[in-house]
Structure formats: C-alpha cells, structure tokens
Amino acid sequence: MPAFWLNGKIVAAEYAKLSVFDHGLLYGDGVFEGIRFYNANAFRLAEHLTRLYDSAAAICLNIPYSIDNLVQAIQATISDYSEQQGYLRLVVTRGEGPLGLDPMLCGQANVFIIADSLAVVEKTVLQNGARLIIASTRRLPSDGLDPRIKSLNYLNHILARIEATNAKADEAILLNRHGNVAEGTADNLFIVKNNTVATPAVSDGALAGVTRALIMQLADTMGLVCTEKTLAPYDLYTADECFLTGTAAELIPVRMIDQRLVASCPGRIYQQLHAAFIQQVQQETKRLN
C-alpha cells in the first residue's frame, strides 16, 4: 500500500487530501521531484532536493520546511512504506487561495510525499527495447518556461504521451521549436554513434535530469566520450544505439523510432552503462544502512 506524508506528518490514505482551492490544482502552480529509493534509502537525494529548492526559488514559491526537515520526512515516508524499494513523489503546491492567478493571495504552501511502486514500461520492453515516436507536440520554449524548473505544468508532455498511446508506442520524443530533439515525455534521451555518447543540451529543452547527470558521469569514468549536443531527428534515425534515462524510467533501451529500427538494441554501450548504474545505486544506498 502507498504511504503518505502531508504537511508535517504521516497520514492515512483517507486524510491525504488538499482543498479544491489549492492553486496547484487550479493552475498547476507548484514544483515537484520524483525520487527513487533502494534498500530503504533515497537515491541521490541531495541532487533532487537542490533542484526542488531551485525550482521553487525560480517561481517565487517558499517551501515551509528546511532541507533537513524534508530529509527526515522522506525517510519517515519510506519507513512507513511496505517495501524496501519504490518511488517517491515530493510535491510543493502554492497552497490555498481565492480564484484568480495572483499567487501572493495564497496562504502557506502545501507539501506532500507519496511512496509507491512505479513501472514506466513493462519488463518485456526493458528486455527488448522501447518503441518511440517523434510527437507533433513541441517542447515549451526555454524563453517561455525554463526547462530547469520542474513544475506541475505537464500538459504539453501529456499531449505527447497521448500521441504515443494512440500510435501504440511506448514513449514520445518532443522536439523544440527549431525542430531539434529536447526530451521524452518523462525522461531524457541519449544516442550512441561511433562509440560517442550524446544527449541534448538543457538549452535545447532537456530537463537537467539527475539520472542524466549520473550517466554522463559514469560514461566519463568508463573512458567513453559523452557530450551534450544539438540532435535532429536524423541523428536518432541513424544512431547505433539509443536509450532513455530518468528517475522513474531508470534506463530503457530503444528498439525503434518512427518505425525505424535502431541498429543495436540493447547495445553494448547501453549494457555497460546499465550495469554501472546498478552498481552505483547499490553502492550509494547500501552504504547508508
């Protein structure tokens, strides 16, 4: 069963509720983090909380708890959950306020944490590779909403997800307004070409993902060339390998993009990085016990 923490305490499911006047619900006004936990310990928690507070600062949202308070809350939520491994959703909403956009009329922010299981794709997809489409829905431009802000506004990603579902694909890739690759609906994207690993830059609309950063770090440690660069659909179609990364997704190999088979899936470099990722997760989370 899921576990819930709401505004300072663990609560039962029937009490994990917010007002219909919360601006997070009315206007998508808030920020969030998705965090994995393994061996009953949150993975890369410092990086997630840093991004949460940066996102909140960027939208003038005051989080009414210190980082230490949230660390304790997260551990309490994990302890109340029935499994040693799972997924956390940490959300900060603007709070209750009158109808209208002005956030200054809202009261204190609401903060809640959910611990539950989450499988982004089926096990067969992890084994055989995901099928992607390039969505017609475009990523919001960075001069409209900075992609470094992990906000509750996910409508354009949801529209792209609908396109993937309608096409019987596992995931959709969003392009930016220039027609270059930004990211998936809930994950970052990497390609491999001639033994070089590449991923779109944040300036092209990619979220500065925590798992993305770790994969780049692991690639460097392994002696692989890993770069941020502008990618066009052509680069996806002609890649030797392609894979997705994310806190929820972890690592997912890609088998097909717009009905074009990727040359190798799961590819050699993907398999090396996946093994290194699993090892890193175990090292960091077991060490905390």
Encoded amino acid at 125, one letter: V
The CA distance from 277 to 284, in Å, is: 11
Confidence at 11, pLDDT banded by 50, 70, 90 = very high
The structure tokens listed for 248 are: 């929820």
pLDDT surpasses 90 at 235: yes
Encoded amino acid at 261, one letter: L
The pTM (predicted TM-score) of the whole model is 0.95
First to last CA, the chain: 23
Are 197 and 223 within 8 A, CB to CB?
A: no
DSSP output for 146-167:
-TT--BS--HHHHHHHHHHHHT
Alpha-helical segments (H) within the chain:
23-27, 45-58, 67-80, 123-128, 155-166, 210-221, 233-237, 268-286
pLDDT digits 0-9 by tens, 87-112 = 999 999 999 999 999 999 999 999 99
Q: Which residue has the tokens 């088998």?
A: 255
Are 158 and 206 within 8 A, CB to CB?
A: no
The CA distance from 272 to 253, in Å, is: 12
Going along the chain from its start, the domains and CATH numbers come out as: 3-116 (3.30.470.10), 123-285 (3.20.10.10)
pLDDT at residue number 287: 61
**Cβ-based neighbour number of residue 83 at 10 Å:** 13
Mean pLDDT, rounded, for 65-94: 97
pLDDT at residue number 119: 83
Mean pLDDT, rounded, for 47-53: 98
pLDDT digits 0-9 by tens, 173-221 = 999 999 999 999 999 999 999 999 999 999 999 999 999 999 999 999 9
- What distances in angstroms separate CA 203 from CA 56, 155, 207, one per listed residue? 20, 20, 9
Max alpha carbon distance in the chain (Å)? 56
The CA distance from 122 to 144, in Å, is: 34
Confidence at 282, pLDDT banded by 50, 70, 90 = very high
Choose, from 17, 123, 150, 193, the residue flagged as catalytic. Answer: 150
DSSP output for 38-82:
ETTEETTHHHHHHHHHHHHHHTT---SS-HHHHHHHHHHHHHHSS
pLDDT surpasses 80 at 65: yes
The structure tokens listed for 17 are: 């509720």
Catalytic residue flag (residue 150):
yes
pLDDT surpasses 70 at 289: no
User: Which 3 state secondary structure label does DSSP give 104?
Assistant: helix
Among 42-51, 241-250, 280-289, which stretch is predicted with the lowest mean pLDDT?
280-289
pLDDT digits 0-9 by tens, 121-173 = 888 999 999 999 999 999 999 888 899 999 999 999 999 999 999 999 999 99
